[in-house]
Amino acid sequence: MRKISDTIARLAALQGHYANNTAEHGGRSHLQTLASFGSDPGGLNARYYLPANLSESAPLVVVLHGCTQNAYAYNRYSGWSQLADQLGFGLVFPEQKRANNSNLCFNWFQPADSRRGSGEALSIRQMIETMVVEHGLDRERIFITGLSAGGAMASAMLATYPEVFAGGAIIAGLAHGSASTIPEAFDRMRGHGGPSKAALQQLLREASPHEGPWPTISIWQGTADNTVVPSNADAILAQWQGVHDVGTRPLRTENVDGQRRQVWCDDNGRELIEKYMIAGMGHGTPLKTSGNDCLGSAGPFMLDVGISSTRHIAHFWGLAKPTMWRPVKTEAVSGTAMRSFTPAEELRLVHFDPTPEPLAPNSRASASGITKVIEDALRAAGLMR
């Protein structure tokens, strides 16, 4: 096994650089804090953004930052809230705490945090449910993306809660179940060892009781990434080819903004998996910060390489379609997306009045009103006891 000390040292050095840059540029922007979203067994923070032109039954995008990053800076550099303003969808940003991981990485390699109904994975699931219930978002259009450790955690969420997501995008991430310890995590990042293709596909099928349909998958990887090497993109692809029943060879290969895009489709031509290999790019999120269709800005691990992964991912998910404007609303939880929960998470049918109680003058929002509605909804969905 290759030594991991050099990787740890480089991450620590980058952490200091990134902390300074974030303090100067990341700001607190316009994200709001989701103060209450259930039992939060993973001990995470949650930030969110809703544009003024939130569309009728708007989609929700879950965005997971990478190591040494936070929600505010990742949003600022990636341009997700800028795109939400243009297209009218909601955003939620799970955010790691240093008490959980000193480098602010999501603990994708810890089984207790990356399996269904447990730890950080369940915390993220609770955030999603809270956003859907509180803001009347569309359960059929929930998507997730992440960079690096956030990408690996997105892999875990897509595998463990596939019925929740219409699609996912993994940027410089790793396949679900590829590591279960810190040494294994560093080995996999460097491309050493790991489960076979058959084992990866089995890990995906065993991660939940779901039997389909499956979320579409967008994979982004730099060819010069020495932190999470390109073979990890191949492992992610192999893991999802099985459930999507597509062959190893792409249906087509095309050039998009000067980069290679490979596409795997079903028999009707619907795109199920796409894979971008960004020539010469190191470790980070691909951005286009000038010219037509520019979005976001360059920063640590946010790389201006002439292609906006944010914009292309949204297009792959179908978020660029015209939508109707509507005011923010609150509605009751539905059990539609909950049918495939494990026995421990079985839907418990409870009835409650979804209308928030009026708040007393100068009271803090919702201990007796909206929070109770959300907590009841989480219990109804089997996400909170």
Q: What is the pLDDT of residue 306?
A: 97
Residue 356 in domain = no
Residue 359 in domain = no
Structure confidence at residue 320 as a pLDDT band (50, 70, 90): confident
Rounded CA separation 194/19 (Å): 32
Average pLDDT over residues 334-353: 30
Structure tokens at 10: 């480089």
* Structure confidence by residue, pLDDT tens digits, 98-142: 999 999 999 999 999 999 999 999 999 999 999 999 999 999 999
Buried b (16+ CB within 10 A) or exposed e, 127-139: bbbbbbbbbbbbb
Average pLDDT over residues 198-204: 98
Q: What is the pLDDT of residue 271?
A: 98
Residue 225 in domain = yes
- Is the pLDDT confidence value at 235 over 90? yes
Average pLDDT over residues 273-295: 96
What CATH number did the domain enclosing 292 receive? 3.40.50.1820
Please give the residue range of the domain that contains residue 241: 5-327
Residue 347 in domain = no
Residue 249 in domain = yes
Residue 98 in domain = yes
- Is the pLDDT confidence value at 329 over 80? no
Residue 60 in domain = yes
Q: Which residue is catalytic, options 148, 155, 218, 309? A: 148
Average pLDDT over residues 214-219: 98
> Could you confirm whether 231 is annotated as catalytic?
no
* Residues shown for the chain: 385
Domain count along the chain? 1
Higher pLDDT, 24 or 378: 378
In the chain, the amino acid numbered 201 is Q
Sign of CA dihedral 258, 264, 270, 276: negative
Residue 377 in domain = no
Structure confidence at residue 92 as a pLDDT band (50, 70, 90): very high
